[in-house]
Amino acid sequence: MDGGERERSLTKLRDFEKVAKHLYEANPEAFADVVWSWEEFVERFRKTGRESVPLEEKAPFFMGNLLTEQDCFPEESMEVSVILHDRYVPPFYHSLKFIKIVYALRGGFFFYLRENGQDRRMRMEEGDFVIIPPEVSQAVFTGDEDAVTVNIVLKRSTFGEAFYSLLMENDDISDFFWQMLYSKGKERALLVRCGRDERLERIVLEMCGEGILDESGNTAGKNLMMKGYVMLLFGRAIKEHSGEMESVGHLSEADAVLPELVRYIRENYTTVTLPELAGHFGKSEGYLSRYIRRETGKTFRFLLKEFRMKQAVQMIENSSCSIEEVAAAVGYADISCFYRNFRERFSMTPMQYRNIRSRISI
């Protein structure tokens, strides 16, 4: 299937989109603002409508307030998924348990975000995209039959593992991604206004072909390919369009400290302690402990253990070091503590993990 055939397949209206289009054409004013539920939309539709249009008691299309990984990753092993955005469906606030990229493949869309308690609407043109962190209330509206808006969703853990080199940079973009991975419930997003970049367009079309239009049933290598496409998408965007990236949403002075703090823990995970961290940032231990818990939903000890385990599995997979050497290298003086934490994290011993990974690599 060539690019033209793919686009024709992607632009075909689905039955529920036809229902939504009928409502939109009957009363476009009802779609002008974002809502929180179908019931709120129905009330607005009836108040603003100039003609009587029957509305069902329940939404004839999806308008749920929360999407989990299970909703978008039917196969647990998949880490990246591609889903077409529903055209003409009223813009409704919902949050996600994963990271979402909304890409304007054809035409544009409106993106809504809560900022300081107010609705903010932003227009994204063809070729632009927005990166939305987990747990952010947001909405997207596409009111054009010829438009194709693509949702690329990936698990939070996948992003952290695949883009660690990006996270270690010290700039506004890496700061946003640190907050995306570790900050809890902040209403922020990253707009990338890159216009008509044909290479990005081809990457997204390839993703659609693999993730939406492929009916072969052959899933071998699919997860690896989809992760590769996402890395190409980010790499191209950062290389060519970093100047067109804009972080939107509310960011307090306290929020801005989080990336620097998490980056410091990551860089010094073998030796850092809470007292040492507090001294470095000029805060009391109690304040810093509460701050980390409030902002991330995790304790300092949990974050430290997470960074140590990430490095440990890399060494186990990619080196011939003994398990004792791995434990010492990632900051564990007590080997029994390392074994206990590793088993808690991966439900197996370090040696069992190494044996399994060795069989996979062979």
Please report the pLDDT score of residue 262 as a whole number.
86
Q: Residue 170 pLDDT more than 80?
A: no
Please report the pLDDT score of residue 361 as a whole number.
47
Report the length, in residues, of the chain. 362
What is the mean predicted confidence (pLDDT) over 174-187?
75
Q: Alpha-carbon Rg of the chain, whole angstroms?
A: 23
Q: Is 170 helix (H, G, I), strand (E, B) or coil?
A: coil
Strand order, beta sheet including 109-115:
118-124, 109-115, 138-141
Q: Residue 202 pLDDT more than 60?
A: yes
As a whole number of angstroms, the distance between CA 310 and CA 302 comes to 12
Per-range mean pLDDT, top range of 107-111, 204-208, 232-236:
107-111
Cβ–Cβ under 8 Å, residues 292 and 298? yes
Please report the pLDDT score of residue 14 as a whole number.
93
Summarised one tens digit per residue, pLDDT across range 49-102 is: 877 888 999 999 999 888 887 788 877 778 899 999 999 999 999 998 888 999
pTM: 0.82
Summarised one tens digit per residue, pLDDT across range 219-272 is: 668 888 888 899 899 888 888 898 888 888 866 666 678 888 888 998 899 999
Q: Is 203 exposed, middle or buried (0-12, 13-18, 19+ CB in 10 A)?
A: buried
Please report the pLDDT score of residue 297 as a whole number.
82
In which band, very low, low, confident or very high, does the pLDDT at 358 lie, cut at 50, 70 and 90? low
- Retrieve residue 173's tokens: 């973009």
